[in-house]
Amino acid sequence: MQGLMMQQPLLVASLLVHADRHHGDQEIVSRRVEGDIHRYRYRDLAQRARRMANALAALGIEPGERVGTLAWNGYRHMELYFAVSGSGAVLHTLNPRLHVDQLAYIIEHAEDRVVFFDLTFLPLIESIASRVKSPKVFVAMTDREHMEQTCSGSSMLMCYEDLIDLQSDEFDWPLLDENSASSLCYTSGTTGNPKGVLYSHRSTLLHTYAAALPDSLNCSARDVILPVVPMFHVNAWGLPYIACMVGAKLVFPGPALDGQSLYELIETEQVTLSAGVPTVWQGLLSHVAERDGAFSSMRRTIIGGAPCPTAMTVQFQERYDVDVLHAWGMTELSPVGTVCSFKAHQCALSGNDRYAVQAKQGRSVFGIDMKIVDPQGDELAWDGKAAGDLLVRGQWVTRQYFRGDDVSPLRDGWFPTGDVAKIDADGFMQITDRSKDVIKSGGEWISSADIENVACLHPQVTMAVCIAARHPKWDERPLLLVVRQPGSMLTGGELLAFLDGKIAKWWKPDAVIFVESVPLGATGKVLKRQLREQYGNYYL
């Protein structure tokens, strides 16, 4: 027998419609690329998103086609979040920290029809335009005046404000299939070329419900949320959608992610909840400590993307009375998987016992199941001791990469995360290692294989191995171990200069160590784990 409830698809546009109708007066504040502060309300967001939906139709964007963005966290980016997905196209957020060749590859692979960009990225757009084969429309996310100041001579560009000025603000959001694609985000956290994760309206809405819950990111209409985590990195952990769902005030930092700018914004806008990777918070904490400041409104901060150091948790909580919510997720998980919020019996814990719990990545939110397995695939006990490959499954976990090679990444219906973890009897997961061969620096991925390949092009290099070494500021930085050709006097400086221009600047290893040989396993594979044990603390 069928239930007799209304059939309403779970659609991204419905979040905006809700925010418009029920929280229309709520504010959205953005620090703009142009330097000033912009503020408006959900009502204005909804109106401008409808205009942009009309503009996309006028550009000939069809349902299912991809629309790229290369932009900071700001209101125009938010408008595109809803205009693009809401009208049936696919919002493709691009990570400007990638090398221009990778960006060009991703734009071609996704077949983006249009790319919207913040003025900061004009030089990047010009380099991309000369590399992509199919003609694209590029739209500068600014007004005519700023465009004329910055982009004179670039005839291929359109202007965001011109585009929507011409349009009506009447637009009926189409009743889409909830399983149709809403957005796309490429991840470099795998080996090989970046891979696309294609979210659906349904997965996005279910993720939004679950991530907003009290034991998840704990968001409400009384919150003022500052997503420092970029909107190009897994949709700023879903916070733009969550804010619409709960009617929270949103504060966007734009390009200014330094401690002073963030602190000013937190205090002037009375932010209650912020979210970002540990590296960003380090800058903020140093700034506040230097001026002997305090947080007058911020009570919670979500820290994820990399392990949250206990010293950071202690500082936030003891010195500033800001609760730390340690969370774990992945691009492939939309991203929230686990959040470290206490169970009732843990609330009485104090001191080191409390911090030992908070150092864990946390427990599953409803919708995500997880398990740890040994190399044979057998499930390991949740005893807080056994560590194994972490596998997950759920309604907002990818089952296939976008235009992948048709080989499912799943193992018996579970997604292998590439993280190695243990789980305790309370269901709290703690990451102990990583089986995927990538480096995460300041919350963004660096491909060790790409660096090795480029280093090996040097005629005096016999073998190059790049490992993740722990770093006090960036969490991890690449360290290059090199076997030179016999008799070679190649120096580290010469080799690093050779890498210039061939990889993104911030990918360049901070040091090169010349070694006689590297340890190899039975199948000839480099034993990176052994090298990480030996050299992993090099930068500490």
- Binding footprint of ligand AMP on the chain (CB under 6 A): 187, 189, 234, 304-307, 326, 328-331, 335, 361, 417-419, 431, 434, 440, 445
Q: Give the side-chain half-sphere CA count within 13 A for 96.
A: 20
For residues 79 and 419, which CB has a smaller minimum distance to ligand AMP in the complex? Answer: 419
- Please identify which of the residues 65, 332, 444, 452 carries the catalytic annotation: 332
Q: Is 440 one of the catalytic residues?
A: yes
How far apart, in Å, are the Cα atoms of 311 and each of 67, 308, 472? 41, 8, 11
- Minimum distance from residue 261 beta carbon to ligand AMP (Å): 24
For residues 166 and 311, which CB has a smaller minimum distance to ligand AMP in the complex? Answer: 311
Q: Which residue is associated with the tokens 């925010």?
A: 19
Closest CA to 302 of 367, 253, 256, 362: 362
Q: Is 474 one of the catalytic residues?
A: no
Which residues fall within 8 angstroms of residue 274, CB to CB, at 6 or more apart?
225, 226, 227, 228, 266, 298, 300, 301, 302
- Minimum distance from residue 337 beta carbon to ligand AMP (Å): 8
Q: How far apart are CA 379 and CA 429, in angstroms?
A: 14
H/E run at residue 222: none
Q: Is 396 one of the catalytic residues?
A: no
For residues 138 and 328, which CB has a smaller minimum distance to ligand AMP in the complex? Answer: 328
- Minimum distance from residue 305 beta carbon to ligand AMP (Å): 5
Alpha helices in 28-87 (DSSP H): 42-58, 75-86
- Minimum distance from residue 438 beta carbon to ligand AMP (Å): 8
For residues 498 and 506, which CB has a smaller minimum distance to ligand AMP in the complex? Answer: 506
Q: Which residue is associated with the tokens 């052994």?
A: 530
- Please identify which of the residues 440, 444, 452, 528 carries the catalytic annotation: 440
- Minimum distance from residue 431 beta carbon to ligand AMP (Å): 5
Burial 245-272 (b: 16+ CB within 10 A, else e): bbbbbbbbbbbebebebbbebbbebebb
Q: Which residue is associated with the tokens 């790319």?
A: 115
Q: Which residue is nearest to ligand AMP (CB)?
A: 331
Q: Is 111 one of the catalytic residues?
A: no
- Please identify which of the residues 187, 190, 204, 313 carries the catalytic annotation: 187
Environment class of residue 364 by beta-carbon count within 10 Å: exposed (0-12), middle (13-18) or buried (19+)?
Answer: buried
For residues 91 and 390, which CB has a smaller minimum distance to ligand AMP in the complex? Answer: 390
List active site positions. Answer: 187, 332, 440, 445
